[in-house]
Structure formats: structure tokens, C-alpha cells
Amino acid sequence: MTMEYLGKVAEFGFNHWSTHIPVPEQIAVELMQNHNRRVLVWIKNEGPLHMALMKGKDYWYLILNKELVKKLNLDENTQVSIRLEKDLSEYGHEVPEEFQVLMDQDEEGMEYFSSLTKGKQRSLIYLVTKVKNPESRMRKSLAILHHLKSAKGKLDFRQLNEWIKHYNNL
């Protein structure tokens, strides 16, 4: 199901995650089957972007990070075309090939990864996805699986960052 509307960029004005686009209540409710708030978003025909529908006191919205705001040249009160679809992907992000190959080969690592919450899984996938260089994505994937196995599935981002530094220096 695809939903389209004209949205207006807005600011909360109280923290660095303040830029957002309100989503009409009817559209948000229709897209939230089984309480899953993950959606694919196209802003000004750029996308798909993996996002979550967020609920404020008064309305639903999509959070925009500074990088996206800059890339799409968005300012407060700018009207933009928005297209939303339910995100049916397993993790709410496209899994990088390098990470998937390692998980397919490492049963123990996959078991620990699968035991994490969906949010933690998405965070780890995003850590790999945001890296452009395939060799660097592979190193980061190796570091993540190494950390999960050595920590017996207990995710500690401080320790993980140490492993990432280690693998980056190999």
C-alpha cells in the first residue's frame, strides 16, 4: 500500500533531532499494521529511506537527520512531496551483502545477532550500511560478529567500537 501527500518541513526547536515532517493521522494509522511503525519513505522522489513513524503529543511525524536535510536542501516550512510504504523488510534496513555473507557462514554469530532486539539489529546493520567502501564494510561486519561472539550476545557499544578500531587497523 502506497500513501502520498504534501508535507511541510517543521522544527521542534529543542534538540538536534528537531527537524521533522508531520504525517496525517489517517495515513499513519493505515500504515501501522501490527504496531510496526517501520516505513519506506520517498521525499521529493528521493528514496527509499528506512524510517519509523513517531508519535508526538499532537501528531505523527518522521524525523529527518541533518545529513538528509542538507542533501535534500530542506528548510522549515518547505512543502515537499512524500510517499510512504509499509517496510516489510526483516530488519527495517537493507542488509549489506558483506554482512549477510558473514552471517550465512557463521552460525554462532547469526544466533547471537538474532537474539538481539529488532532495534539493536537495525543499529548494527546501519553501522555497516553507512560505510561506502566494501572493504571497510567487511571489516566492520567482522568486528560486529567478533564482538557478539566474544561477549556471548551482550551488545556493548563501547567494546564494539574497540573491536571496530582493531579491525580497521588490520
Q: What are 121-137's pLDDT values in tens digits?
A: 999 999 999 898 999 99
| pLDDT score at 21 | 97
Q: Collapsing DSSP states into helix, strand and coil, what is residue 134?
A: helix
Give the residue range(s) of CATH 2.40.30.100 domains in the chain.
Answer: 2-86
Proportion of the chain above pLDDT 90, given as a percent: 76
pLDDT at 91 over 90: no
| pLDDT score at 92 | 78
Residue 16: pLDDT band by 50, 70, 90 thresholds? low
Residues belonging to the chain = 170
Proportion of the chain above pLDDT 70, given as a percent: 98
pTM of the model: 0.73
Residue 77: pLDDT band by 50, 70, 90 thresholds? very high
Highest CATH level, class, for 2-86: mainly beta
Specify whether the CB–CB gap between 113 and 148 falls below 8 A: yes
Q: Which three cell numbers stand for residue 69?
A: 536535510
pLDDT at 159 over 70: yes
